[in-house]
Amino acid sequence: MERRLDPEVHGRGAQSGAVPTRFGLATREADGDWRDHMEALDGPPVKLRTTVTEERPKTILSFNRSPDIAFDRSVNAYRGCEHGCVYCFARPTHAYHDLSPGLDFETKLYAKPDAARLLRETLAKPKYRPRPIAMGTNTDPYQPIERRYRITRQILEVCLDARHPVTITTKSDRVLDDLDLLAEMAERRLVAVAISVTTFDPKLSGKLEPRAAAPAKRLAALGKLVESGVPAHCSIAPIIPAITDEFMEEIVARAAALGVRSAGWIPLRLPHEVAPLFREWLSVHFPERGDKVMAIVRSIRGGRDNDPDFFTRMKPSGVWADLFRARFRIACKRAGIGKERFELDCSQFRPPEIGGQMRLL
């Protein structure tokens, strides 16, 4: 794989802002703020700014019938994610709105301030039946703008009030901002939290997931959750062959040392526009091993960059996949860690009050 000659886009995961061709959109490229660029024609390109648009959807709870995932409903407080993980499988969702799955996905964000109200109204419906709500299945509920909007916290307050179980997946130690709510929910078996750790190399993390919390902070957050009695799962995700797989054993060992009793791994997935974005990222940061990385990826995906089929999309095949499984199994055995099942309790559910008023008891 040849090195891309264009300069690196610092501080971002994606290295371009091209819109997808599968929807027949006009091609374009993002190169910073136009006005600032015009004021300094002879200077370097201006850094891309992160913008947040508030949107007002009519519903907030999404349902799915996928047979190979453990949840049937989810809430996403935000669209787009400033963490900028180049491998994020949610990037193509921006293409549905005529935006780039590349730089637009991590710079043009959307917040849903009405999320808690909409969720309260949904849970109050007479025919609603509770099952765990998954948060963080598309974009991270604790990305940087959560500190300003606090939408995730408002959702958790509604769920605690309604005694509704929730699962959370994040790459941020910002989850500890809500430790008071999480600890109370954990006492009632209403919550489980998964934190994803990909590497312990801060430089590599800065290239892969430039605005996510440092790996050491994520690991420390896992330990804090365990100390507070919150069910915590360490997700080694994604495993990128020849890039991050070398850290698998260390992540398992250090998580176990903190008292984490559940761990799992997920192989790299490259749906739709994520594949060319990832190839471009390799050409900038790892051109000397890019061909090797993609050869292994294709070998575990039946000769394709990505396997979209149910069940097999989460279970790669082939020699390399078997090797990763064996390494993970041995690492867990040595560390005394498994994949504990967190049984959340739906029996406590009580429809919330309408009108924004929460119960006192």
Domain boundaries, the chain: 50-268
pLDDT of 361 strictly over 70: no
Q: Count of residues for the chain?
A: 361
Query: Sorting pLDDT into bands at 50, 70 and 90, what band is 32?
Result: low
Percent of the chain past pLDDT 90, that is, above it, reads 79
pLDDT at 81: 97
pLDDT at 17: 87
- Whole-number Cα distances in Å, 268 to 36, 87, 239, 274, 345: 37, 7, 6, 10, 32
Average pLDDT over residues 187-216: 97
Q: Which of 195, 196, 279 is nearest to 243 (CA)?
A: 279
How does pLDDT run across 47-74, given as a tens digit for each residue? Answer: 789 999 999 999 999 999 898 888 999 9
pLDDT at 171: 98
pLDDT of 35 strictly over 50: no
How does pLDDT run across 258-269, given as a tens digit for each residue? Answer: 999 999 999 999
- Flag whether the pTM goes above 0.85: yes
Q: Which CATH number fits domain 50-268: 3.30.420, 3.30.1140, 3.80.30, 1.10.3430?
A: 3.80.30
